[in-house]
Structure 1
Amino acid sequence: MSLGSQIAWDDTVLPFQLDKSDIRGRVARLDGVLEEVLAQHDYPPAIEALIAETALLTALIGQTIKLRWKLSLQVRGDGPCRLVATDYFAPGDDGTPARVRAYASYDADKLDPEGDPFPQIGKGYFAVLLDQGEGTQPYQGITPIAGGSLSSCAETYFAQSEQLPTRFALSFGRSQAPGTEAQWRAGGIMLQHMPKASPLMGGEGGTGEQGLLAADDILDGDEAEDWTRANLLLDTVEETELVGPHVQPTDLLVRLFHEEAPRVFDPQPVNFGCTCSADKVRQTLSIYSAKDIEKMTTEDGVVTADCQFCGAHYEFDPRTLGFEAEIAPDARG
């Protein structure tokens, strides 16, 4: 395989469908995107791993939705890792990249930087937030932290909130090819059964952890057999096949699902991207009075703001801020 063919699949999400069953899926590779996301902060390894997993889930889930603006994932817990937040922005036009950004908040004194990442979230919730833009009502779905990974949390969310059996197989970490520097690579496959009525919808609960719905509660008969067979095939995937770069996603789908008649669609490129701006910071601060703005003003006579996602730094003349602004805006920085 040539270097060009490897690069062609970096930072992409490839949609596919298994024609012998009502199952759709996505294959994602995040390479340069993940490097840029993690380069914005000096995170310890445990936090990097949680961000990598969440960013990969976000890219996979975001591409399955008829999205006009933004999909967000938020993981909040009472452990040393307090928050992981990611955003997926839909492409503006056909053929243009989608954008992903992410950041985390954690207690450095309590975190085990080299320890198992997932238990350090503690008890909390996994949230999916969907915002289709101006003139629409944002949607939010929440499920408890459950299972042994964020992938398991996402599977529980889809079973519980959407009644859609969903499965993720993910791999991520730092890798190094001969003659190159070590860098982050991540790859994964998402399988999802097409929508149908759940046998337990309206019931008292499911067979999953904490009484939540699981795939077995939603499917029966031939559909259950198709789902089980696809999952058994996915179980044979190797981590090196997921992250690449030497196995193309199309070749991987043929290797895993050739008997299921996989059909692929146009791949979606993904870039790192942030939507912060001085105007958006001003809008956020527009609800504050002049007295409130005064409390935010530094000894140097400016109001500062930093973007958690990309690290952009903004400085403002306090007289231009709030609903009692004295003069026209003139942001610096």
Structure 2
Amino acid sequence: MSGAPAGPVVEISTGGRDDIVLPFLTVRSNIVGRLVRLGATADTILKRHDYPDGVSEVLGEALALAALIGTGLKFEGRLILQTKTDGPLDFLVADFATPGSIRGYASFDKAAFSAERADKFQAAGGEAAVLGKGTLAMTIDPAGDMERYQGLVALEGVTLSEAADAYFRSSEQLPTFIRLAVARERASAGAEGDAGHVDAGLWRWRVGGIMLQHVAHEGGKSADALAAAEERGEMLGEDDDHWQRVAMLASTVEDHELVDSTLTPENLLYRLFHEEGVRVQGARAISEYCTCSRERVLGFLKGFGADELADMHEPDGNVSVTCEFCSKRYVFDPEQLE
């Protein structure tokens, strides 16, 4: 029948609509992709930090991007995204550990994100203005004896998704489509705080994203052909009709669809790619984590000399350390540091 999908949508149990990365494959065109949807995981991380909205939004995107890329690792290890720029949000890191743990934090100019100046960022270019110029580093840190790898891409007037797209196209020679979205959802309709003000606790952060890549498959180009194309400076399938069609379909996704708690990931994929047919694979659960502990922090502090520790003493004589990732505060008295 004319217009019928080229393949089925395979429904699976994701254990819920949120906090997953869902890999998928378009049947007709053989394009691989992953969809991320973060609810409580992103909300916990972003609320704990309590950054200004502009910072939280970019960090939320970084969490989504790290989850999308990190779940593609074929081995145990970590994927670390890190930005260093001259913008008001001068440092950001999102750290993904296989199989599905994530954390992140940011450093920024507090004065630049005051209420009086926040609107200027939107007028100047939104996220790109917040980040400024610098670099995005993507570090793959495998477990065991495998070698650590880091790739760099310039951040110059672009968003995180645009920089990541440029990295895959230039360094990996892979046509890539990335869309990221961050929003806040009302926890309970009509609930307001005193004097009609909305209580921040009634809002939940939601993060979503989708990533497509045109990779080599069996039955496609040979390894020799791909190597020859790379030497000629050509990109795998950039002009391929299948890739262009699927990328065009993906570009129709709206930000609100990526974060909509009432729209399941499977139904969103069907909405986007029903003409292609889409098969989903096993969902990967995503949760927030931190590796800090009292023992690790104590070991770190004992690496300092007596004079350096003396400079760290607070008025009560104790030394305190706050984890940048999870905001947990550790307090030690002088005797514990001997």
TM-score range, shorter chain: 0.7 to 0.9
The one-letter amino acid paired with 2:289 is: G
Report whether the alignment pairs 1:51 with 2:59.
yes
User: What are the equivalent positions in structure 2 for 1:186-201 lying under 5 Å apart?
Assistant: 186-195=207-216, 197=226, 201=230
The one-letter amino acid paired with 1:185 is: R
Contact 1:10 1:29 (C-alpha < 8 Å) held by counterparts: yes
1:151 equivalent in structure 2: 161
Contact 2:36 2:208 (C-alpha < 8 Å) held by counterparts: yes
3-state secondary structure, aligned to 2:248: helix
1:232 equivalent in structure 2: 248
1:94 equivalent in structure 2: none
Contact 1:294 1:318 (C-alpha < 8 Å) held by counterparts: no
Report whether the alignment pairs 1:10 with 2:15.
no
Report whether the alignment pairs 1:70 with 2:75.
no
> Do the aligned partners of residues 184 and 75 (structure 1) sit closer, same or farther apart at CA in structure 2, a change above 3 Å counting?
same
Could you list the per-position Cα deviations for residues 96-154 of structure 1 after superposition, in whole angstroms to 9, with x for gaps in the alignment? xx221111110112343343232121110111111123434322111101463211011
3-state secondary structure, aligned to 1:40: helix
Q: Aligned-residue CA RMSD in angstroms? A: 2.6
Q: Which one of the candidate residues 243, 255, 260 is aligned to 2:276?
A: 260
- How many pairs align? 299
Q: Which one of the candidate residues 76, 92, 113 is aligned to 2:118?
A: 113
Contact 1:87 1:100 (C-alpha < 8 Å) held by counterparts: yes
Instruction: Quote the Cα distance in structure 2 between the aligned partners of 1:102 and 1:87.
Output: 6
> Do the aligned partners of residues 161 and 285 (structure 1) sit closer, same or farther apart at CA in structure 2, a change above 3 Å counting?
farther
1:182 equivalent in structure 2: 203
2:171 equivalent in structure 1: 161
User: What are the equivalent positions in structure 2 for 1:1-333 lying under 5 Å apart?
Assistant: 8-91=16-99, 98-111=100-113, 112-114=117-119, 115=121, 116-146=126-156, 148-176=158-186, 179=189, 181-195=202-216, 197=226, 201-202=230-231, 217-220=234-237, 224-285=240-301, 287-318=303-334, 321=337, 326=338
Contact 1:47 1:117 (C-alpha < 8 Å) held by counterparts: no
Instruction: Quote the Cα distance in structure 2 between the aligned partners of 1:34 and 1:249.
Output: 17
Instruction: Quote the Cα distance in structure 2 between the aligned partners of 1:155 and 1:201.
Output: 17
**What is the TM-score with the length of structure 1 in the denominator?**
0.81
Shift of residue 13, structure 1, vs aligned partner: 0.8
Contact 2:14 2:20 (C-alpha < 8 Å) held by counterparts: no
The one-letter amino acid paired with 2:155 is: I
User: Structure 1 stretch 282-291 or stretch 67-76: which is displaced more?
Assistant: 282-291
Unaligned runs of 5+ in 1: 92-97, 207-216, 327-333
The one-letter amino acid paired with 2:207 is: A
Question: What is the percent sequence identity of the aligned residues?
Answer: 37
The one-letter amino acid paired with 1:158 is: F
3-state secondary structure, aligned to 2:112: coil
3-state secondary structure, aligned to 1:64: coil
Shift of residue 287, structure 1, vs aligned partner: 4.0
The one-letter amino acid paired with 2:176 is: T
Unaligned runs of 5+ in 2: 1-12, 192-201, 217-222
3-state secondary structure, aligned to 1:236: coil
The one-letter amino acid paired with 1:194 is: V
Could you list the per-position Cα deviations for residues 182-206 of structure 1 after superposition, in whole angstroms to 9, with x for gaps in the alignment? 3211222110111473666456xx7
